[in-house]
């Protein structure tokens, strides 16, 4: 899916938490937040797209997931946190090139052409990866290793980037062709930006084939590169993006502008981002994969970035005047986002509430980010009981309705939306602070569920209030708004 990912190392965040965040930009895919208990995790998994059957281990942990409400195309669990306080988001669709894909083709499902032949299963993909990996890992590194084994055994039918985090580490993994992969531990002091392209711009093979402190990859990756003449680097440097990625005209409209805006936001003093002498433009292919940010990053900054439509630049599609380039580039916050998550693993919280999962349904530009505790047996109905028909009784549809109405009356509704987003964030933080304290004092993990019910009730109250106000303002700007004084 065409998504955007941000990763924040523990020394780059304001509270020393690791954070992995991603917009899941599907095709208006209805999403819900649920808890999957070990008894509900299947022992044998069969994918819808790949028609692949995989036997699973006998020891799954409880985990959260944001699956599709309509399962006709598969689970698409998207993101979650497990009982060991390991987070995962999968996947960021990334780019590749014909050199790589011809040398190690994607593993696609092949339906039998005659009755005598058998169907040939495809590999694993975004539909499957969270379900196959998250219930079985106790560290971020273990996530890479489990997924690597699955890729090498079954292959994949698409090019993807996957993030894992625990209390101490973040690992970023990118697939290469059908069966190859590489992964890198995100340095603690940086933030990583990923806009639907192969991202990593450096890699230490000596570490990957030595101590493996911060780099992992397929055992034959060096030989693979050499055999198929994939290395396009000069002067002895190795940039994986130049080997495995792309830099097409489509990238320059759809992908690189998002990296430019995020880098401009995170490191405004380190490079020139604007003007004729800019170090990087929206169409630069060499924007760094990671930055040491100018200031510490909180969840609010992550949400701001993932909501962006190039505010403060001539590319903002909501500008009142035509700049000649208004709306030229694909925004980060778009209409068809199903769910956005920020997974925060906090070192100073009790184990039972160390993980915090921030959830936003619908377009991030208009909708609010709500924190919940993932270490519970079930989620509040407002988050989990999502219907295929529009309803104000769940957070998903309430959010979608606000976005659809406010977009058409942006100038009239932007202040309502801003107040709504700030209210949910503020009241959400208040509740989390209060319950963190109660849980630390009592050791009572059941308080996490109590907190979630209060968080959901607050979100419903604020969402209904915002929806009412947005509906009123949008009604005023309807094209058939005539009265007798118009004559």
Active site residues: 3
Least Cα distance to 436 among 375, 369, 362, 395 occurs for 375
Q: Measured between alpha carbons, how far is 423 from 415 in angstroms, rounded to an integer? A: 12
Which residue has 């505010």 as its token pair?
Answer: 311
Residues 6+ positions from 336 with CB-CB distance below 8 Å: 25, 26, 27, 28, 29, 363
Q: Measured between alpha carbons, how far is 266 from 263 in angstroms, rounded to an integer? A: 5
Phi/psi of residue 94, nearest 5 degrees:
-120, 170
What is the number of other CB atoms lying within 10 angstroms of the CB of residue 433? 10
Phi-psi region of 330 (alpha: psi -120 to 50; beta: other; left: phi over 0): beta
Q: For residue 174, what is the enclosing H or E element?
A: strand 170-176
Q: For residue 191, what is the enclosing H or E element?
A: strand 191-194
Helices (H), 409-485: 410-442, 447-476
Q: Measured between alpha carbons, how far is 190 from 404 in angstroms, rounded to an integer? A: 35
Return the sign of the alpha-carbon dihedral for residues 386, 31, 56, 49. positive
Q: Measured between alpha carbons, how far is 161 from 90 in angstroms, rounded to an integer? A: 7
The whole-angstrom distance between residue 241's C-alpha and the CA centroid of its chain comes to 20
Angle at which helix 447-476 crosses helix 395-408, to 10 degrees, equals 30
What is the number of other CB atoms lying within 10 angstroms of the CB of residue 399? 27
Cβ-contact 122, 157 below 8 angstroms: yes
Surface-to-core class of residue 315, CB atoms within 10 Å of its CB (0-12 exposed, 13-18 middle, 19+ buried)? buried
The whole-angstrom distance between residue 387's C-alpha and the CA centroid of its chain comes to 23
Task: Count CA within 13 A, CB hemisphere, residue 429.
Answer: 10
Phi-psi region of 177 (alpha: psi -120 to 50; beta: other; left: phi over 0): left
Cβ-contact 245, 256 below 8 angstroms: no
Per-residue DSSP letter, 279: S
Residues 6+ positions from 277 with CB-CB distance below 8 Å: none
């Amino acid at each position: 899916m065409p998504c955007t990912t941000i990763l924040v190392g523990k020394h780059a965040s304001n509270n020393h938490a690791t954070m992995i965040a991603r917009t899941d930009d599907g095709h208006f895919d209805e999403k819900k937040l649920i808890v999957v208990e070990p008894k509900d995790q299947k022992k044998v998994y069969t994918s819808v797209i790949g028609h692949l059957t995989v036997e699973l281990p006998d020891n799954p942990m409880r985990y959260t997931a944001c699956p599709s409400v309509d399962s006709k195309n598969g689970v698409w669990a998207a993101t979650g946190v497990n009982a060991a306080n390991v987070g995962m988001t999968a996947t960021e669709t990334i780019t590749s090139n014909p050199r790589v894909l011809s040398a190690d083709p994607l593993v696609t499902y092949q339906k039998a052409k005659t009755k005598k032949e058998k169907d040939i299963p495809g590999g694993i993909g975004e539909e499957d990866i969270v379900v196959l990996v998250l219930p079985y890992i106790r560290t971020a590194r273990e996530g890479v290793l489990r997924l690597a084994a699955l890729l090498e055994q079954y292959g994949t039918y698409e090019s993807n980037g996957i993030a894992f985090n625990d209390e101490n580490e973040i690992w970023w993994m990118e697939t290469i062709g059908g069966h190859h992969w590489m992964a890198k531990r995100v340095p603690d002091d940086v933030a990583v930006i990923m806009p639907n392209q192969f991202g990593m711009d450096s890699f230490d093979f000596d570490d990957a084939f030595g101590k493996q402190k911060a780099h992992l990859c397929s055992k034959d990756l060096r030989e693979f590169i050499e055999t198929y003449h994939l290395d396009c680097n000069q002067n002895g440097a190795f940039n994986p993006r130049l080997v495995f990625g792309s830099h097409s005209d489509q990238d320059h409209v759809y992908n690189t502008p998002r990296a430019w805006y995020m880098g401009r936001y995170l490191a405004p003093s380190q490079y020139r981002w604007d003007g004729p002498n800019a170090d990087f433009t929206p169409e630069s292919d060499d924007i760094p994969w990671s930055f040491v940010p100018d200031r510490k990053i909180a969840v609010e900054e992550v949400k701001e970035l993932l909501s962006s439509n190039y505010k403060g630049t001539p590319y903002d599609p909501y500008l009142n005047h035509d700049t000649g380039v208004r709306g030229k580039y694909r925004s980060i916050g778009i209409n068809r986002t199903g769910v956005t998550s920020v997974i925060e693993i906090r070192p100073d919280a009790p184990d039972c509430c160390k993980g915090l999962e921030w959830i936003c349904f619908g377009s991030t530009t208009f909708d609010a980010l709500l924190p919940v505790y993932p270490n519970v047996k079930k989620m509040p109905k407002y988050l989990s009981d999502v219907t295929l028909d529009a309803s104000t009784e769940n957070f998903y549809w309430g959010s979608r309705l606000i976005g659809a109405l406010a977009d058409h009356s942006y100038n009239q509704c932007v202040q309502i939306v801003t107040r709504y987003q700030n209210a949910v964030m503020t009241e959400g933080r208040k509740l989390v602070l209060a319950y963190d304290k109660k849980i630390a004092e009592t050791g009572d993990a059941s308080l996490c569920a109590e907190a979630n019910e209060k968080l959901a009730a607050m979100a419903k109250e604020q969402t209904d209030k915002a929806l009412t106000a947005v509906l009123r303002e949008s009604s005023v700007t309807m094209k058939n708004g005539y009265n007798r004084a118009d004559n």
